[in-house]
Amino acid sequence: MKKSNLIKIIFLNLFFLTSLFASFETDIEALKTKSFKKKQQVINELVEKYSDDERTETLLKKMVDGDLFYTKKEGTFVILEKKEGSTYHTKTFLEGKVLEPQNKKEFNKVKTNNGLRSVIKSNLAQMNLFSKKKEVRLKSAKNILSNVDEDSKELINKALSKEKDSDVKEVLLEAKTIILAKYSSGEEQLQAVKDLSDFISSDTLATLKNLYSKEDISSELKKAVKSSISTVETIRSYYGVLEKAFFGLSMGSVLLLAAIGLAITFGVMKVINMAHGEMMMIGAYTTYTLQQVMPGLIEYSILVAIPAAFIVSGIVGIIIERLVIRHLYGRPLETLLATFGISLILQQIVRTIYSPLNQEVKTPDWMSGAWEINSALSLTYNRLYIIIFALLVFIGVLMVLNKTSLGLKVRAVTQNRQMAQAMGIKTSWIDAMTFGIGSGIAGIAGVALSQLTNVGPNLGQAYIVDSFMVVVFGGVGNLWGTLIGAITLGEINKFIEPVAGAVLAKVIILVFIILFIQKKPRGLFPQKGRDAQD
């Protein structure tokens, strides 16, 4: 064996050993160099070696922002948190320990220039695209998709060869096809344009439309572009309809929540509760108050608010029933006037306590954001939860009325008050409970509403006419009618709205209901039987 070879082996082994001992902590020391060229090299090495280390990303980001320093004395890397004149508030990069505020002379900045910054940025993009976390990769891929340029072609190809997740692959593929359609020529471009008809994002559509408006393209390509555009638009409009249906469903759910309570008080007890909207308002203000009381627990406050709103509104309802409505049974027009007066008083009370201004109720994190099904269809979580919630409440009320002894008594009192009394049912207690439950459900509706709109003294007014429309449309005294009525009106509204505008949509619906009552004066599901006329 030659001596030189032996030295080489020893040297290689030594190198291997040093690399074995090398770590992120020691490697970043090299960043202290003054040469930008050297720094660029170091950064590329760091990314190569520690792309999965979260610290790499933080380090690079801080460096781009110019917030990365090291102390002159110990040479530890620190991150600038806050500047006060020439005093720097910092914390160590590796341990995250907060340091005493010191004068800026104590620190050296890890300087960057434009060239270095662009290197770092492209490295960051790459790192994300090859991250182990799927969400990070997906986000990065989407980012690339929304600003495609020819340079990212290589990166995309590299990522595609490694990518296993189908969602990320889909996005990358779309980005690649868009690049091909935009920047290639001839047969390749034609094929890419044809392939684009499989994708539905707005970026694809924009690319195709852009191509179509160009004048110097061949007629064959133009034809392909046109057919792809029509395919994409058809699919997108299909998803558009789905999205509208979803919005309609969520609006219907809000109406359902508002109208269930009304269906109970109006349909079952024959009481026109004009203060029903104010019961919703009370529920919404309960949510607001709870958030003020427990500011650190926004995530949970809404869960607490549901029973709380039910109880608060329910108790207010029972008080109203005992004080006023009890004297007015059998005189629906009088209950209308009296409860209208109550609604004015309740509104004014809220104005006095909380101010006449709208209050903002915070949305917990788990309710914000959207569920992206594909690039043309995403459903917001708050609406999704409200749909589910409304259905749960509906099923709950149905269960209470049909399966519990309270429900049985309520129905008994509804059908024949004297007979029920003779059977030993405390009718006045049942009346109070029924009204309380109806009001309590309105309170729950208020919790849901507080997540969609601002909470103010006029909150209830905006929904009272709509809720009555739902009950009248669906047929009084029938919960299923209320369900179908609410969803139908919600859907009609959302489908007319884009064509006619929000206000006209409401007007059209009111006219529609007035005409509908011509055919079915007692709603979709009229009460049948002997006492239905009264």
Cβ at position 338, least distance to another protein in Å: 4
Residue 9 interacts with another protein (CB under 8 A): yes or no = no
Helix/strand/coil (H, E, C) string of 236-258? HHHHHHHHHHHHHHHHHHHHHHH
CA 510 to chain centre: 30
Interface pick for another protein out of 324, 391, 406, 425 (rule CB under 8 A): 324
Please report how close the Cβ of residue 287 comes to another protein at its closest, in angstroms: 24
- The answer to whether 344 contacts another protein (rule: CB under 8 A) is yes
333 interacts with another protein by CB under 8 A: yes
Tell me the sheet residues that pair with 372: 378
**Cβ distance to another protein smaller for residue 19 or 518:** 518
Residues 193 and 228 sit within 8 Å (Cβ to Cβ): yes
Measured CA distances, 50 to 45, 58, 112, 393 (Å): 8, 12, 21, 51
Could you tell me which stretch among 23-31, 43-51, 234-242, 336-344 binds another protein (CB under 8 A)? 336-344
Q: Among residues 132, 216, 503, 531, which is the contact residue for another protein, using CB under 8 A?
A: 503
Q: Does 530 participate in binding another protein (rule CB under 8 A)? A: no
Q: Which is nearer to another protein, 172 or 272 (CB)?
A: 272
Alpha-carbon distance of 393 to 385, in angstroms, equals 12
Burial class of residue 126 (count of CB atoms within 10 Å of its CB; 0-12, 13-18, 19+): middle
Counted residue by residue, the chain has a size of 534
Judged by beta carbon, residue 94 or residue 337, the one nearer another protein is 337
Smallest separation, CB 513 to another protein (Å): 7
Quick note: the x/- pattern for another protein over 458-497, rule CB under 8 A, is ---x---x--xx--x-------------------------
Of 459, 454, 434, 433, the closest CA to residue 258 belongs to 459
**Interaction between residue 336 and another protein (CB under 8 A):** yes
Shortest distance, position 157 Cβ to another protein, whole Å: 54
Q: Which of 354, 506, 524, 527 binds another protein (CB under 8 A)?
A: 506
Helix/strand/coil (H, E, C) string of 28-49?
HHHHHCCCHHHHHHHHHHHHHH
Closest distance to another protein from the beta carbon of 282 (Å): 15
Helix (H, G, I), strand (E, B) or coil at 361: coil
The nearer residue to another protein, 357 or 507, going by C-beta atoms, is 507
DSSP 379-406: EEHHHHHHHHHHHHHHHHHHHHHHHSHH
Contact with another protein (CB under 8 A): which of 327, 408, 419, 500? 327
The residues in 18-77 that bind another protein, with binding defined as CB under 8 A, are: none
Residue that has been written with the tokens 């009272």 in this structure: 464
Q: Which is nearer to another protein, 20 or 503 (CB)?
A: 503
Indicate the helix (H) or strand (E) that contains 69. Answer: strand 68-71
One of 24, 183, 329, 340 touching another protein (CB under 8 A) = 340
Q: If binding is defined by CB under 8 A, does position 357 make contact with another protein?
A: no
Among the listed residues 34, 82, 105, 519, the single contact to another protein using CB under 8 A: 519
Residues whose CB falls within 8 Å of the CB of residue 386, separated by 6 or more in sequence, listed in order: 250, 253, 254, 257, 448, 451, 452
Query: Scanning residues 237 to 296, which ones bind another protein (CB under 8 A)?
Result: 272, 274
CB 280 within 8 A of CB 440: no
Interface with another protein (CB under 8 A), residue total 39
Instruction: Please identify which residue in the block is written with the tokens 């009718």.
Output: 427
Question: Which residue, 94 or 510, is less far from another protein as judged by CB?
Answer: 510
Identify the residue among 136, 160, 311, 328 touching another protein (CB under 8 A). 328
**Measured from the CB atom, is 241 or 344 closer to another protein?**
344
HSE-CB for 16 with a 13 A CA cutoff: 6
- Establish if 510 lies at the interface with another protein (CB under 8 A): yes
Euclidean distance between CA atoms 188 and 191, whole angstroms = 5
Q: Are strands 77-84 and 68-71 parallel, antiparallel or unpaired?
A: antiparallel
* Contacts of another protein in 370-409 (CB under 8 A): none
Q: How far is the CB of 274 from another protein (least distance, A)?
A: 8
Q: What is the C-alpha end-to-end distance of the chain, expressed in Å?
A: 114
At its nearest, how many Å lie between another protein and the CB of residue 456? 15
Q: Which stretch binds another protein (CB under 8 A): 294-302, 364-372, 399-407, 517-525?
A: 517-525
| Distance between CA atoms of residues 255 and 70, nearest Å | 60
Least distance in Å: CB of 160 to another protein?
A: 52
Q: Can you tell me which residue has the tokens 């160009």?
A: 214
Task: Give contact residues for another protein (rule: CB under 8 A).
Answer: 272, 274, 324, 327-328, 332-334, 336-338, 340-345, 347-348, 351-352, 461, 465, 468-469, 472, 503-504, 506-507, 510-511, 513-515, 517-519, 521
